[in-house]
Amino acid sequence: MGHAKAAIDKINVKNLPKHIAIIMDGNGRWAKQKGLPRIAGHWAGAEALRDIVRTCCKLNIQVLSVFAFSSENWKRPVQEVNTIMNLLLYYLKKEVDELDKNNVRIHVSGAWEELPERIVGQIKKSIQQTQNNTGLILNIVLNYGSRNEILSACKKLYKDVQSDIISIDGIDESTFQNYLYTRDLPDPDLLIRPSGELRISNFLLWQIAYTELWFTEVYWPDFKSDDLLKAILDFQKRERRYGGLKS
How many CB atoms within 10 Å of residue 76? Answer: 15
- The strand pairing partners of 65, in sequence order, are 21, 139
| Residue 25 annotated to the active site | yes
Q: Residue 1 corresponds to which amino acid?
A: M
Q: Strand, helix or coil at 24?
A: coil
How long a stretch of residues is the chain? 247
Other C-beta atoms closer than 10 Å to the C-beta of 29 total 17
Among 9, 15, 27, 73, which one carries the catalytic annotation? 73
* Phi (first) and psi of residue 198, to 5 degrees: -115, 55
Determine the Cα–Cα distance for residues 83 and 38; give it in Å rounded to an integer: 9
Alpha-carbon distance 215 to 227, whole Å?
10
Report d(CA 89, CA 191) in Å as an integer: 25
**Contact predicate 229/59, CB 8 Å:** no
Among the options 9, 12, 15, 25, which is catalytic? 25
Would you tell me how many other CB atoms lie within 10 Å of the CB of residue 95?
Answer: 19
Tell me the backbone φ, ψ of residue 75, rounded to 5 degrees: -75, -10
Residues known to be catalytic? 25, 73
